[in-house]
């Protein structure tokens, strides 16, 4: 059975208990869970996560890392994907005792049992869901990948990672300034993973990684009633978006259940801001989404050579 691995920086660590609650509900009994984080080991949110995992009877191992060791130019992309997501590239090295690992982003919501997925053997280093959006077309290198997958949910053969020397390859990519800046410019890890694996990936059924933004469209959501994992990819996160979608509500219920008595004021603000009242997120996030949409529209009308030129600057 695959273990589960999540990666969190200081900012998302607050929400990690919601992931634990979901893993408890839908992962197999005895499943191993890994949290990879760059937080100080005495961070109170980390201590809280450990207590919650204990209360849930989950086998959680925390791996604290110094990211500077892995990536010399450690900073987030223009798309605000946290820089720590680059650590996905080094999971083979970070989890030397594991072969098969299900990697999950913090912004995922599990809706159904993951038993089948966790027990799926794979013959490629990566198994993931294909992205049908235009992100493949925005791949920053001239040669587009054959298949373009999303890196928010991935089943990984870490044995293959180690056999193929992926950590070393990842270091080489990150140290090549031009290649690395291009590949990290939008999604940090995702374009690098596609660069490394797009010819060597198994596609998983779409139900294992459905974008919340697609589910907001009624025609699509009707077709998909067996969704196992929803991902809040992009700006809309279940903890910062006022829209009370089915899956946002589901996330809130997990989060509220997980923190229970250990909630502090900030957690309560997160939950309360969903129930009416004005929070900065209610104004800023829709504005941000509007800006994102406008930029997308503008970008889609700009010829490719200008984009390259801008990127060059
Ligand atoms: Mn994500």
Instruction: Using the mean position of ligand 1's atoms as its centre, give its distance from the Cα of residue 47 in Å.
Output: 24
pLDDT of residue 89: 94
Residue 186 — very low, low, confident or very high, per pLDDT cuts 50/70/90?
confident
Q: What is the mean pLDDT of residues 198-218?
A: 87
Residue 279 — very low, low, confident or very high, per pLDDT cuts 50/70/90?
low
Q: What is the mean pLDDT of residues 282-307?
A: 73
Instruction: Using the mean position of ligand 1's atoms as its centre, give its distance from the Cα of residue 305 in Å.
Output: 29
Burial of 235 (C-beta count, 10 Å sphere; 0-12/13-18/19+): middle
Instruction: Using the mean position of ligand 1's atoms as its centre, give its distance from the Cα of residue 110 in Å.
Output: 13
Instruction: Using the mean position of ligand 1's atoms as its centre, give its distance from the Cα of residue 169 in Å.
Output: 23
pLDDT of residue 32: 98
3-state secondary structure the chain: CCEEEEEECCCCHHHHHHHHHHHHHHCCCCCEEEEEECCCCCCHHHHHHHHHHHHCCCEEEEEECCHHHHCCCCCCCCCCCCHHHHHHHHHHHHCCCCCEEEEECCCEEECCCCHHHHCCCCCCCEEEEECCCHHHCCCCCCCCCCCCEEEEEEEEEHHHHHHCCHHHHHHHHHHCHHHHHHHHHHHCHHHHHHHHHCCCEEECCHHHCEEHHHHCCHHHHHHCCCCCEEECCCCCCCCCCCCCCHHHHHHHHHHHHHHHHHCCHHHHHHHHHHHCCCCHHHHHHHHHHHHHHHHHHHHHHCCHHHHHHHHHC
pTM of the model: 0.86
Listed residue (144, 151, 149, 107) closest to 131, CA to CA: 149
Q: What is the pLDDT of residues 141-168, one digit of tens each?
A: 888 888 999 999 999 999 999 999 999 9
Instruction: Using the mean position of ligand 1's atoms as its centre, give its distance from the Cα of residue 32 in Å.
Output: 21
Instruction: Using the mean position of ligand 1's atoms as its centre, give its distance from the Cα of residue 78 in Å.
Output: 15
Instruction: Using the mean position of ligand 1's atoms as its centre, give its distance from the Cα of residue 230 in Å.
Output: 10
Q: Does 230 or 70 have the greater pLDDT score?
A: 230
pLDDT of residue 74: 66
Residue 301: which region, alpha, beta or left (left: phi > 0; alpha: psi -120 to 50)?
A: alpha
Instruction: Using the mean position of ligand 1's atoms as its centre, give its distance from the Cα of residue 232 in Å.
Output: 6
Instruction: Using the mean position of ligand 1's atoms as its centre, give its distance from the Cα of residue 154 in Å.
Output: 11
Instruction: Using the mean position of ligand 1's atoms as its centre, give its distance from the Cα of residue 77 in Å.
Output: 14
Instruction: Using the mean position of ligand 1's atoms as its centre, give its distance from the Cα of residue 231 in Å.
Output: 6
Instruction: Using the mean position of ligand 1's atoms as its centre, give its distance from the Cα of residue 214 in Å.
Output: 14
Instruction: Using the mean position of ligand 1's atoms as its centre, give its distance from the Cα of residue 81 in Å.
Output: 8
Domains annotated for the chain, with CATH where assigned, are 3-277 (3.90.550.10)
Q: Compute the mean pLDDT over every residue in the chain, rounded to the nearest whole number.
A: 86
Q: For 177-211, b where at least 16 C-beta lie within 10 A, e where not — what string?
A: eebbebbbebbbbbbbbbbbbbeebbebebbbbbb
Residue showing tokens 């010819």: 199
Percent pLDDT > 90 in the chain is: 53
Instruction: Using the mean position of ligand 1's atoms as its centre, give its distance from the Cα of residue 175 in Å.
Output: 25
């Amino acid at each position: 059975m695959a273990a589960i691995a999540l990666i969190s920086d200081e900012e998302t660590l607050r929400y990690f208990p919601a992931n634990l609650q979901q893993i408890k509900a839908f992962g197999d009994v005895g499943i191993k869970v890994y949290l990879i984080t760059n937080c100080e080991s005495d961070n109170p949110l980390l201590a809280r996560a450990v207590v919650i995992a204990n209360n849930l009877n989950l086998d959680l191992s925390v791996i604290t890392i110094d990211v500077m060791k892995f990536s010399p130019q450690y900073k987030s992309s223009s798309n605000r994907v946290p820089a720590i997501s680059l650590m996905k590239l080094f999971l083979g090295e970070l989890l030397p005792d594991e072969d098969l690992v299900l990697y999950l982003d913090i912004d995922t919501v599990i809706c159904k049992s993951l038993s089948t997925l966790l027990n799926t053997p794979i013959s490629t280093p990566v198994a993931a869901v294909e992205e049908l959006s235009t992100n493949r077309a925005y791949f920053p290198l001239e040669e587009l990948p054959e298949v373009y997958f999303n890196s928010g949910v991935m089943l990984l053969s870490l044995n293959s990672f180690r056999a193929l020397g992926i950590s070393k390859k990842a270091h080489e990519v990150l140290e090549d300034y031009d290649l690395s800046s291009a590949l990290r410019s939008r999604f940090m890890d995702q374009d690098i993973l596609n660069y490394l694996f797009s010819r060597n990936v198994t596609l998983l059924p779409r139900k294992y990684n459905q974008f919340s933004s697609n589910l907001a469209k009624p025609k699509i959501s009707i077709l998909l009633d067996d969704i196992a994992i929803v991902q809040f990819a992009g700006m809309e996160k279940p903890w910062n978006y006022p829209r009370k979608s089915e899956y946002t509500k589901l996330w809130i219920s997990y989060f509220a259940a997980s923190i229970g008595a250990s909630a502090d004021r900030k957690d309560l603000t997160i939950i309360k801001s969903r129930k009416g009242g004005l929070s900065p997120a209610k104004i800023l996030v829709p504005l941000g989404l509007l800006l994102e949409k406008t930029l997308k529209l503008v970008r889609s009308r700009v010829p490719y050579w200008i984009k390259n030129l801008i990127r060059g600057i």
